[in-house]
Amino acid sequence: MSETSIDAETRNSRVAGAMKGFSQEIGALSAFRLESCIHCGMCADACHYYIATEDPQYTPIWKVEPFKQAYKREASAFAPLFRWFGFKRAVTADQLAHWQHLLFDSCNLCGRCSLICPMGIDVASLIEQARHAMFDAGLAPEELHAKAEHQQRTGQPEASLEPYRDQLLAIGEKYAVSLPLDATDVEVMLCVPRTDIEHYPAAVAALGRVMQHLGVSHTFRSDALVAENYGYYSGGQDWQRSISLRLIEQAIACRAKVLLVPECGHAYTALRWEAADLYGKALPFKVMAVTEYLALALHGGSLKLGKAAIGSVSFQDPCQLDRKGGVSAAPRALMQAMGVQLHEMENNRSFSFCCGGGGGVVDIERAAPLRYRTMEVKMREIDATESDSFLTGCSDCRHTFDDARRHFGWNKTPQSLLELVAQSLEPTSVPP
Ligand code: SF4
Ligand code: SF4
């Protein structure tokens, strides 16, 4: 439904809902952050949306302006004065419709602005909180809302011709690799990016092959196959919780000691940093990204790698793994063990730019023109490395770059680090 076709009553109730949501989301920490901004503008220079457009509306802290207005009018110490004297005007429905664009279409929740802010303001977290209020007011983008609703109800973000469970089994058969399903008493529970099921089945096979090589008991679970969390993208916290709970309950049911997050950055954030809060207590297992798990296995001697059949590469550090999770040494250790000649991008590790598709942006159709414009920042950096190919440890990054390749006629094909590891396993150690 377009904004113009929504009647006035609905628009007003959405504004009221969003303002209520904004003020409810504002805790002491958020209020402190909002008050700390010195308007230095450094976050603008950190954000690829601003860099690509030089449009001030894409300044990160500006994206939470309605949040600030709600705070000043509803929750700050001087709220009655702000309301009485009209120092902060009430947010309108048109403004909120525009802020849907700023909070969802033009933010990847990548956290680069948070890293650079001299006042330590976690702008990306504020944007995430503002998304919660927008969702509660019925203002999440349709695509994200629909996928989140479908996923919390069925376990899959979308209906597919064949259920993902059957597709997983078919991948196992096609690639002749064991992908155990619904086992119990295992060391590791696996899940898979839906992006890999749909676009990169070889990456799913690679995960199975590597686990087989390590000789660690493992399983996928039919009731919790998908790693992504569209509740997180859409701002729907209840749905985020129920999607995380599917994975948590299945990991408990199979008594896994580790829930292994595949190559999916946002799934890592949702499970590693946010799931325990939503669950209400500490998780009775570890959450690890596959890259860090493999680097530990390499260090411990159970992962044995030969030389990779690849020339020079650049590496796309997924924001959620590196900037938020500190997983930067692990992929480099794996590449070094495979003899990969790494050409670093100008901004790498924690300072890496987002691929442009994160935070659900790649799923929002109307956001595509701006996304392409923004991606050019990253593509220029990749081209400047003059590497033969480039790798990433996130299938959503890969999918976003693949889309850019088609859109721009770009001559770079993103590849999966996990697939390269699977191709480089010492042959003698792979069980028949
Ligand atoms: S970098 Fe921090 S202090 Fe500076 S404008 Fe942005 S949020 Fe405010
Ligand atoms: S989180 Fe990333 S995309 Fe969003 S405002 Fe900050 S730097 Fe820009």
3-state SS track over the chain = CCHHHCCHHHHHHHHHHHHHHHHHHCCHHHHHHHHHCCCCCHHHHHCHHHHHHCCHHHCHHHHHHHHHHHHHHHHCCCHHHHHHHCCCCCCCHHHHHHHHHHHHHCCCCCCHHHHHCCCCCCHHHHHHHHHHHHHHCCCCCHHHHHHHHHHHHHCCCCCCCCCHHHHHHHHHHHCCCCCCECCCCCCEEECECHHHHHHCHHHHHHHHHHHHHHCCCEEECHHHCECCCHHHHHCCHHHHHHHHHHHHHHHHHCCCCEEEECCCHHHHHHHHHHHHHHHCCCCCCEEEEHHHHHHHHHHHCCCCECCCCCCEEEEECCHHHHCCCCCCHHHHHHHHHCCCEECCCCCCHHHCCCCCCCCCHHHCHHHHHHHHHHHHHHHHHHHHCCCCEEEECCHHHHHHHHHHHHHHCCCCCEEEHHHHHHHCECHHHCCC
What residue spans define the domains of the chain? 3-139, 143-299, 304-427
Residue 65 scores a pLDDT above 90: no
Using CA positions, which residue lies closest to atom 2 of ligand 1? 117
Residue 214 one-letter amino acid: L
Among the bound ligands, the one closest to the CA of 374: 2
307-339 residue pLDDT tens: 998 999 999 999 999 999 999 999 999 999 999
Task: Output the CA–CA distances (angstroms, integers) from residue 155 to 135, 147, 259, 394, in the order listed.
Answer: 20, 10, 17, 21
What's the pLDDT score for residue 430?
47
* 309 CA from centroid of ligand 2 (Å): 36
Confidence band, pLDDT 50/70/90 cuts, at residue 67: confident
42-63 residue pLDDT tens: 999 999 999 999 999 999 999 9
Q: Give yes or no for a contact between 350 and 322, defined as CB atoms under 8 angstroms apart.
A: yes
Confidence band, pLDDT 50/70/90 cuts, at residue 429: very low
* 396 CA from centroid of ligand 2 (Å): 17
Beta strands 286-289; 341-342: pairing state = unpaired
Does 40 contact ligand 1 (Cβ within 6 A)? Answer: yes
Confidence band, pLDDT 50/70/90 cuts, at residue 69: confident
Residue 19 scores a pLDDT above 80: no
* Ligand 2 atom, smallest distance to 354 CA: 2
Of the given ranges (20-24, 104-108, 161-165, 220-224), which has the lowest mean pLDDT? 20-24
* Ligand 1 atom, smallest distance to 46 CA: 1
Residue 89 scores a pLDDT above 70: no
Q: What is the pTM of this model?
A: 0.93
CATH, domain range 304-427: 3.40.50
Residue 428 scores a pLDDT above 70: no
Does 90 contact ligand 1 (Cβ within 6 A)? Answer: no
What's the pLDDT score for residue 82?
67
Based on C-alpha coordinates, what's the Rg of the chain? 22
* Ligand 2 atom, smallest distance to 124 CA: 1
* Integer Cα distance of 90 and 70 in angstroms: 8
Q: Which carries the bigger pLDDT value, residue 68 or residue 89?
A: 68
Task: Output the CA–CA distances (angstroms, integers) from residue 345 to 349, 351, 385, in the order listed.
Answer: 9, 10, 6
Does 308 contact ligand 1 (Cβ within 6 A)? Answer: no
Confidence band, pLDDT 50/70/90 cuts, at residue 248: very high
Question: ∠30-70-362 over CA atoms, to 5°?
Answer: 70
What's the pLDDT score for residue 275?
96
Does 243 contact ligand 1 (Cβ within 6 A)? Answer: no
Which of 121, 122, 125, 127 to mutate for ligand 1's pocket (most ligand atoms within 8 Å of CB)?
A: 121
Q: What is the mean pLDDT of residues 182-192?
A: 98
CATH class of 3-139: mainly alpha
What's the pLDDT score for residue 6?
66
Q: What is the mean pLDDT of residues 144-167?
A: 96
Q: What is the mean pLDDT of residues 403-432?
A: 87
